[in-house]
């Protein structure tokens, strides 16, 4: 399946399940790993995880498409389109969409190594981080002490 076929599929699901046309762009995104799809509120486009389609097939992806179309139609109609909104939950149940997609196998998930460590200057508690964090914006969760940022050495030792 390619993006053109996905576009036609999304348009067909929109008409049959929602009774309204899908007038924007749908495409696969091969980088999505932690989510089944995305709806963009600015462009109204939808992206679907290629890995979800590859791993779990058309039936699961159809539920993901319905989920994203709930965001799409509710947003355009001015309804509650966020996950926590009752409008969203009701429409999702009505059309048979899924609230959560299935988790990908571990070998398909990219896990970044920890690159930083925040250390409390009072109680020495440690917080591992993958991204650089400004220690001035946070305090220790145990003692409310100041934090110090340390970069971890990621070079393999020989």
Catalytic residues: 68
Q: What is the CA radius of gyration of the chain?
A: 21
Distance CA 94, CA 104 (A): 26
Sheet of strand 126-129: strand arrangement: 126-129, 116-120, 147-151
Distance CA 36, CA 63 (A): 10
Residues 158/152, Cβ–Cβ less than 8 Å: no
């Amino acid at each position: 399946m390619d993006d053109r076929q996905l576009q036609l599929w999304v348009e067909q699901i929109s008409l049959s399940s929602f009774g309204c046309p899908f007038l924007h762009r749908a495409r696969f995104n091969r980088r999505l790993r932690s989510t089944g799809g995305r709806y963009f509120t600015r462009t109204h486009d939808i992206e679907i995880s290629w890995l979800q389609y590859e791993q779990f097939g058309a039936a699961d992806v159809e539920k993901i498409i319905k989920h994203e179309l709930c965001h799409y139609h509710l947003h355009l109609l001015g309804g509650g389109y966020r996950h926590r909104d009752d409008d969203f939950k009701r429409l999702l149940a009505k059309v048979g969409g899924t609230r959560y997609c299935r988790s990908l196998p571990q070998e398909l998930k990219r896990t970044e190594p920890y690159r930083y460590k925040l250390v409390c200057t009072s109680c020495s508690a440690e917080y591992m981080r993958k991204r650089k964090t400004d220690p001035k914006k946070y305090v220790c969760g145990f003692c409310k002490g100041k934090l110090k940022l340390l970069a971890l050495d990621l070079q393999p030792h020989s």
